[in-house]
Amino acid sequence: MSPIHRTRIKICGLTREADVDAAVAAGADAIGFVLYPKSPRHVSPQRAAELARRLPAFVTPVLLLVNASADEVQAACAAVPQAVLQFHGDETPAECAVSGHAFIRAARIPTGPAGAGFDLLKYAEDFSAAQAILLDAHVEGYGGAGQSFDWTAFPWSHPQLNASSRLVLSGGLTPANVTDGIRLVRPWAVDVSSGVEALGADGVSTVKGVKDPQRLHAFVAAVRAADALLS
């Protein structure tokens, strides 16, 4: 029997100690803190540092930045020096690399058929210095807003993409669909935010920045089930 490939799991948009603890208990490999002031899940670098101190060894903090100035990037690195940076705006390869920190680059993929002509191969080449390319849906503003792109749009087996060691699947993932996403893309990791948030009073909308422990555990269980199916 072939060994099981363990898809890594990043939980993003955490704002509370209880949610950090719940995500770690569920089995998260990385925890994302949003430093973009316009996001409803925004935390300051100092607050991110407080939350990151709760993380045990081998659970990685990730700081999400959107078109931040060089000074803001340096302040983020100083606050959480062990973090990986995630650039989610219009940053150039040089702007991503200037801090000297390990970084992830988000690719904002149009939600139309076949990725609406997005050249992911060129994007991956342009950002070859990134530790990973995070695949998110391109919507108004920044972030996937809980939407998915066409998971059949790209040649995931292409060596230039190297999906199983370099791609992070994000955008609209939930416990109900993450198994399909992993089956189609075979990514190194998956990234979820709204898909594991607590539901509001209407039972449909989510409370942004507040995670649901049951949904966290269900998401991780679905990822592990996908790994078992593909082993």
Residues taking part in catalysis: 12, 136
Query: CA distances (Å), 51 to each of 60, 95, 117, in order?
Result: 12, 26, 39
d(Cα 171, Cα 187) in Å, to the nearest integer?
Answer: 13
Is the Cβ–Cβ distance between 26 and 216 less than 8 Å?
yes
The single-letter DSSP state of residue 72 is H
Is the Cβ–Cβ distance between 115 and 154 less than 8 Å?
yes
Question: Among residues 127, 123, 83, which one has the least CA distance to residue 101?
Answer: 83
